[in-house]
Structures are given as structure tokens and as C-alpha cells.
Amino acid sequence: MARLSGASVARIEEICDAYQGEKTPLVMILSDIQREFGYVPLEVQEVVSRKTGLSVAEIYGVVTFYSFFSLTPKGKHVIGCCLGTACYVKGAQRIIDRFCNDLGIEPGGTTDDGMFTIDALRCIGACAAAPAVTIDGKVYARVDISQVPGIISAYRQMEGGAE
Amino acid sequence: MSLVNIKIEGRPYQVEEGLTILEAARQCGYEIPSLCSFNHGECNQGSCRVCLVEATGARGLAASCVYQVAEGMEVLINSPKAVAARRTSVELLLSNHNVNCQQCGKSGQCELQNVARIVGAREGMFKGAKTPTTYDDVSPSIVRDTSKCILCGRCVERCKNAHGNGVLGFQNRGFDAKVGPAMDISFADSPCIMCGQCVTVCPTGALLPKSEIDKVDFARAQGKYMVVQTAPAVRAALGEEFGLPIGTPVTGKMAAALRRLGFNRVYDVDFGADLTIMEEANELLDRVKSGGVLPMITSCSPGWVNYAETYYADLLPHLSSCKSPHQMQGAIIKSYFAQAHGLDPKDIFVVSIMPCTAKKSEKDRAQMEVDGIRDVDAVLTVCELGDLIKRSGMQFNRLPEEGFDYDIMGTSTGAGVIFGVTGGVMEAALRTAYRVLEGKEHDAVVFNAVRGFDGIREATIAMGGMDVKVAVASGMANAKILLDQIREGTSPYHFIEIMGCPGGCINGGGMPIVRHCFLPNEDVDIVDTYRAKRARALYTEDERNTLRQSHNNPQIIELYSRFLEKPNSHKAHELLHTTYAGREPFRVQDH
Ligand code: SF4
Ligand code: SF4
Ligand code: SF4
Ligand code: FES
């Protein structure tokens, strides 16, 4: 708890208040928090618990159920690799492995410079584009393993960093 | 109540409308295997599918724990289809289970093991990966091993029902799903109050009390002077470990067994309970007279104390400063008793037999010692004592009836024994407070208003020229209501008794488990009535005792005149009172 600033606590409480009339506000509250803060750590769950009367265990359950929520800060660019059935049979596992290898992180992890996070996603509904990768919401269709280094360096260049 | 006509295996029955097939069948004399459901839908996920039966009207097989009976329904439990389906369900559960029954603390009392045996589950039918395990034996009270968990959710529901805002929940999903405290942290770092309610409902060995049998063995091997003391509730349930009907008091055989287990002294914590009443009743009267903090709240339930320290730190001044009875008695054993017998307190090893898992954590509290001498060295649950007795080769049911040792602290009163049931501490305190204020005993020994199992009970007793208002609650969900009143300044009470477990110690987390499938000779509603049956055993012992009030215990009177001087004396404070401190619900560094 100690590490949340007063302003953050106030903002989280404000988000909770905004959904007061809702019957099942939890997912909406957590979505707003995820979008605004980039993650939903334990301290934040405790504030939500106090405001909503739901137990931390229940909130944690929801946070870990949906891959959209994250317990740790996400990178600036979130690479989502779809591992749904269609993508999987078209070699999606090798794509995500390549991203992980090149960035030196595990699925769900974030690079030390805070630039990239890799998420393994369940079917994103882009089966026609299999294997599909999304980066910050933009869908890359029929990704080939050889394109991976290029995609990564494009984002690095966009940030003005030298390779 | 309207009835419906159903058939089970072709035979006609009339059962109450609205019952599940499982409950209806139970009333008709059938026990359908079940795992994830628990008593009248306390847990009702319908997820394990081991209760499948054929029922007319159902699409496919029906999960009997959730599917309700209907007029004209025909139920088949023993059809080839239902039998095969139940076996498959169990085999699927076992495919992601750490099947090492022989080394598992739940073996013999495990519902999964029992069901697997009943359905004839075969080895290795569904081979595959297993979910990574969380094994937590860090807390002093409870061991969690997710490799034994079947994700039934009973523990989640029980913790929530008992305490309001539960500690446990489902986390992750699919193959990675687990049940545990948030962040998958240890119970030790979570807001868990160590009550063990979750342990009492877990069908498997995924949640077990943390055993201290090794500790006791080690002390004996070292040649320590072994003193054992048993809590009031233990006598009301130990017999269940040996197949005796629920509610059979086994005080005499228990004393005999403990003596044969090699304890040098066998004492009853009822003496410590009498001592607690002397201290607590006088503390209350002091507070009333001197304008101290009121209402005063009892402090003998460590589950409740853990809760207060976690969620109501601002109310800690309301807690009585009294240690709980076994801690008090431990401190007396290592001082007064040690002196009387010329023993070095360092050579004495005190073992408490408790209905409670939280007592294991209580005895480890930094405050529970005097001059570096721990009050109590080990706490065993009723189930652990059962194991010790079985291990020794003794045939419990053939033991003679013996008494506790009677020197120095061997006498106790009926007031002490009712400590084991919700309302009992209050009743015992009222018996003594009345005497102190009125100079005579209350006409009726029994204070009926504080008895029973309603979540909250209250009473007003006229004594000492004032109306003393009292309330009793067990389970934190109920306690919370009384605590919030205090916070808001609207509490009308002088004295409140709170116990951590719903129903009090007779329903503690260290008590034997109560399950239909293991108790074919009990009434079909035993899971609803066992608490009252155990309570009756204690009330009966109170009635049979010639001494009913703590202040009339001659050895307590002697203890004060020879050693402690008077209740709440300086010496009494040193030995018998304690302090509390607030704590964070989550004691982890977030990454
Ligand atoms: S939990 Fe039950 S089935 Fe599993 S290993 Fe233990 S006794 Fe056997
Ligand atoms: S021991 Fe009690 S408080 Fe802790 S998780 Fe179990 S039921 Fe909840
Ligand atoms: S720990 Fe026990 S009660 Fe809880 S979900 Fe697992 S098997 Fe069920
Ligand atoms: S007991 Fe019926 S589905 Fe588990």
C-alpha cells in the first residue's frame, strides 16, 4: 500500500465511484485502471476492494482470468501473438518464440527498457489473417518468422533509438 | 412444504419439492458420490461431475447436486451409463492430481480417495501434463498443497460465509487455474486469520492443519518433562476419530490415553478457563467502575484476535488484555507448578490439545512468553491427537475412564467447560461478574439468552444496580456487525464475546471432519446438527459438575492466595495478560 501516491488512490476511488450504479462493475473498473495505469498491482486491488466491498481474492481472480489485465507494468508497445487454434496450426508458436528470443523475455514479460511487452493471446477473431500478431492494437496479418526482426526494429526506430 | 412423487431405481418416494436429487436421494437412503457440492448448496459449482445420475427430463446425465427433483421424475443411480460416467469424471480429476495417498495427511478421510474407490477408478486413464504446484507450509497453522486440489471451491465459500470478505479465490484460468489467497502468496502473508474453517470443508489433502507431532516427539526424546492440557471442546469430538457417535463425551478415555502416551502430567484447560474468567470478569468490572474502554471484547479466540489486528486495529483497546486459557495455564505451569515441583521451567514442555488451528499461531506470538520462557511449546489439533493415539497401538474405545491429574490445577468448574461453545465464555463470565457485583450467586446458574447458534445473540442482565448489556457473535461476518457499531459509536453493549469460528470451538478448524459419506450411522442431517450435538456434550458436563462457577474453584482460590494475590494483580498481569498490535492485511512486497 505504501507505494501508491495519494493522487493515485484518489483517482482509483474516482473510477470506482463512476460505476457505483452498476450491478457488476468490477471488470469495468479494472479495465479503466488497466488503461490508465498500465497495470493492476496488489496495492491497487486493495483500494478497489475497500471501495467495492469485494474481496482482494475475488478481484485478483478476475485480474488473472482475463489476459487484458496485467499485474506488472506493460511496455510502451504491447505485442500480442495470437495462439488461437487457427493461428496455432499456422505456426504461431514459432512466431511468439522468435519474438521472445529476439527481445530476451518470456510471454507476459516486459523488456528492461520498458519498450516491449509480449502477450500470448487466445483467439482474437482474425483467423483469416492467421498467424496474426497485434501491436498496440494494429493487426499484422500472415506474419512470417523472417519478418519478426524487421517489425521490432521498425518500432525501435519509431522511438528514435539507434539499433 | 409441498411434496413430489419421484422414483429412485424404480421405487416410489415422496420428497420435498425444491430439493436437489442428491439431497432427496439421501433422505431416501442413498448416498450419491459427490465432491464439489457441500451441504445444501453451501458450495454448488456443479463442476466435478462425480454425482452424475440418469433423471427423466434432464438432457443427458444430470449433476444430482444441482438438478432439482420434479413430479414424476425417475432417477437411476446404478444404471450402466451413470456408473460409467461417474467413473470417467473421477478418472479425469485424478489425471491432474498428485496421487500419493499413502503419504497424504488426508488418507482415510479423503472424499476423493473414497469416491475413487467407490467408482472403481482405474490407473492412468488420462495421461497428461499437471498444473504447476504451489506448496505453502510457511504459516504456523495451515499447509496448502495445490497438487491435491480439485478446484471445488468449498474453501472459498466457507471462508466467505464465515468471515464475509474471504481470503481465498479462484485465480488464473483453464489449465493454470488455482485456488488460494490473492497473488498465490502464503497464508502467512495474507489476511487469513488461521481459523481453519477452509480445512474442515476441503474434501482432499489440499488444505491440512500443520502438524506439530514431530516437535512433540523430539521433546519427549530429549527427556523433557511433558505436560499436556486439553481444551474444553476436545472431549466433545475426540471420540469421532474412533468411530463413536458425534456428541459422545470422552473425557475419561482421553485422560487415560494421554497418560499412556507418556505425558508426565495431564491437565484440563478448564482450569485455565476458570482463571481467565477471574481475570476477565474483574477486568470488566474495573472498566465499568473506572470509565475504561467499553464495550470490552473477549480475547480467547486467536482467530478473532488475528482478525481484529488486521481489520479493526483502531478497536484493539476494546479487547480484554487477558491471554487465552491455555496460554494462561501454560504460564502458570512454568511458574507456580514448576516451583511447587522443584522443576526448571526450561525442562518443561507444554503441549496443548486444541480444536483450533489458530491456536498454533497464537502460541508462536512474540507476546506469549514470560522472561524468555514460552507459555506453550506445541499445539496439536484433535485430529493430531487421534493420530498419536492410533500410532501408539492403543485401542481408544477399550481404555478405562480416568481423571485428570488433580494436584495444583486439577479442579475445574462447569463454567470452564462451556468455553468451548459460542456464548460459553460470556455465560461463565456472567456467573462470576454477578457474584462479584451482587455478593451472591445468580438464582439460575444458566443464562439461556446467550446460548444457541444464531449469528448474534444479546441479553441484558440487571446486576450491581445497573443493566449490563451483552452480545455474543461467532464468525467474523457476524462479528463485523457488532464491531462497526462500536466504530460508529452506537454500540449499546458493555461486554461482547467473539469467537472466530461459526458456533465456537466445537466447530473449530482442528476438529474432526463431518461428512455424510463417512458417517452412515449418523442421522441424515448430521452436517446440520453436529455442532449442537457437540455443544450438548459440553453443557451436560457443566450440569454434572458440582462446581458451576469459576470463583468457586478451590484450586483457583488457592492459586490466588498462594501466588497471584488477587485478580489483575501485578503478578497476574505479568503472567496472564498480553498486548496486541495492528498489522497490514497483505504483508508482501509487491514486485
Ligand atoms: S488428497 Fe486424497 S486422493 Fe489425493 S493423495 Fe491425498 S488421500 Fe490420496
Ligand atoms: S483459515 Fe480461515 S481465514 Fe484463513 S483462509 Fe481458511 S477459512 Fe479463511
Ligand atoms: S483447496 Fe480443497 S476445498 Fe479448496 S478448492 Fe481445493 S480441493 Fe476444494
Ligand atoms: S458434486 Fe455434483 S458436480 Fe460436483
Strand partners of residue B43 = B38
Contact A57 B166 (CB under 8 A): yes
What pLDDT, on the 0 to 100 scale, is given for residue A43?
A: 92
* Cα A78 from Cα B30, distance rounded (Å): 56
* Cα–Cα dist B23/B36, whole Å: 14
Interface test with B, best of A50, A54, A60, A110 (most B CBs within 10 A): A60
Residue of B91, B104, B135 to mutate, ligand 1, most atoms within 8 A of C-beta? B104
* pLDDT of B529 higher than 80: yes
State whether A124 and A57 are in the same domain. Answer: no
Identify each DSSP E strand in A23-115 by its residue range.
77-82
Q: Which of A3, A42, A55 sits opposite B169 (nearest CB)?
A: A55
> Is residue A163's pLDDT more than 50?
no
Q: Evaluate whether residue A1 is within a structural domain.
A: no
pLDDT value, residue B589: 63
pLDDT of residue B480: 96
> Phi and psi of B378, rounded to 5°?
-150, 150
Triad A55, A61, A62: Cα angle to 5°? 100
Inter-helix orientation angle B382-392/B251-260, to 10°:
60
If you count residue pairs, one on A and one on B, with CB atoms under 8 Å apart, how many are there? 56
What average pLDDT does this structure show over B449-463?
A: 90
Backbone angles phi, psi at B484, to 5 degrees: -65, -35
Distance from CA of A23 to the nearest CA of B (A): 18
Q: What share of chain B is helix, strand, coil (3-state, %, to 5)?
A: 45, 15, 40
Q: Which domains does chain B have, with CATH numbers?
A: 3-94 (3.10.20.740), 131-208 (3.30.70.20), 214-576 (3.40.950.10)
Chain-centroid distance of CA A72 in Å reads: 9
The Cα–Cα gap between B83 and B77 comes to 7
- The CATH number of whichever domain residue A143 belongs to comes to 3.40.30.10
**Peptide bond connecting A131 to the previous residue in cis, omega within 30 degrees of 0:** yes
Q: Answer yes or no: is A52 within a domain.
A: yes
Do A116 and A145 share a domain, yes or no?
yes
pLDDT class for B591, splitting at 50, 70, 90? very low
Closest CA to B573 of B283, B269, B198: B283
- Chain A residues in contact with B183 by the CB 8 A cut-off are 42, 60, 71
pLDDT interval class at A161 (50, 70, 90): low
Asked if residue A149 and residue A93 are part of one domain, the reply reads yes
Percentage of the residues of chain B whose pLDDT score is greater than 90: 89
pLDDT (tens digit per residue) in B534-566? 999 999 999 999 899 999 999 999 999 999 999
State the pTM of this model. Answer: 0.90
As for ligand 2, residues whose beta carbon falls within 6 Å of it are B 142, 158-159, 162-163, 167-168, 192-198
Residue of chain A minimizing CA distance to B191 = A56
The arrangement of strands across the sheet holding B378-381 comes to B265-268, B225-230, B348-354, B378-381
**In-domain check, residue A163:** no
Output the pLDDT for position A1. Answer: 43
Q: Which of B289-298, B338-347, B434-443, B526-535 is least confident? A: B434-443
Q: Are residues A100 and A120 in the same domain?
A: yes
Q: Which of B134, B144, B171, B172 is the best substitution to test chain A (most A C-beta atoms within 10 A)?
A: B171
A131: left (phi over 0), alpha (psi -120 to 50) or beta: beta
In a domain, A71, yes or no: no
pLDDT surpassing 80 at residue B283: yes
User: Phi, psi (5° rounding) for residue B178?
Assistant: -145, 160
Instruction: Find all residues with CB under 8 Å of B59, minimum gap 6, and list them.
Output: none
Whether B79 and B187 have beta carbons less than 8 Å apart is answered as no
Give the whole-angstrom CA distance, residue A120 versus residue B399. 63
CA of A50 to the centre of ligand 1 (A): 37
**Three-state DSSP state, B134:** coil
The pLDDT, as a whole number, for residue B173 is: 87
Identify which of B42, B170, B197, B381 to mutate to test ligand 2's pocket (most ligand atoms within 8 A of the CB): B197
pLDDT at residue B520, as a whole number: 93
Instruction: Identify whether residues A109 and A41 lie together within a single domain.
Output: no
E strand or H helix that includes residue B12: strand B11-16
Task: State the average pLDDT over residues B157-180.
Answer: 93
Q: How far apart are CA B417 and CA B424, in angstroms?
A: 8
| Grid cell for residue B525 | 442431517
**Beta carbons of B372 and B344 less than 8 angstroms apart:** no
Q: Is the pLDDT of residue A2 over 70?
A: no
Judge if A58 and A38 occupy the same domain: yes
Domain that holds residue A20: 6-65
Identify all chain A residues contacting B166, using CB atoms and an 8 Å cutoff. 55, 57-58
- Specify if A140 maps to a domain: yes
* Separation of CA B206 and ligand 1 centre (Å): 8
Q: Taking residues B464-473, what's their average pLDDT? A: 93
DSSP class of residue B564? I
CB-closest option in B156, B183, B191 to A60:
B183
- Nearest residue of B to residue A52, measured between CA atoms: B165
The pLDDT score that the predictor gives to residue A31 is 94
Which listed ligand is nearest to B151 at the C-alpha? Answer: 3
Place of cell 486440489: B149
At residue B48 the predicted structure's pLDDT band, cuts being 50, 70 and 90, is very high
Q: Is B166 in contact with A65 (Cβ distance < 8 A)?
A: no
Positive or negative, the CA dihedral B44, B49, B54, B56 is positive
Whether A107 and A60 map to the same domain: the answer is no
- Do the domain assignments include residue A85? yes
* Mean pLDDT of the residues in chain B: 95
Stronger pLDDT, B224 or B464, i.e. the higher one: B224
State the residue for C-alpha cell 506488472: A72
Give yes or no for a contact between B259 and B246, defined as CB atoms under 8 angstroms apart: no
Q: What 3 state SS string does B475-501 have?
A: CHHHHHHHHHHHHHCCCCCCEEEEECC
Q: Is residue A47 part of a domain?
A: yes
**pLDDT above 90 for B258:** yes
Of B116-130, B316-330, B468-482, the one with minimum mean pLDDT is B116-130
A51 lies in the same domain as A94: no
In the prediction, which pLDDT does B443 show?
Answer: 84
A58 and B166: CB-CB below 8 Å?
yes
Overall domain count for chain A: 2
Tell me the nearest-neighbour CA distance from B590 into chain A, angstroms: 7
Q: Are strands B168-171 and B178-181 parallel, antiparallel or unpaired?
A: antiparallel
Q: Three-state SS for A17?
A: helix
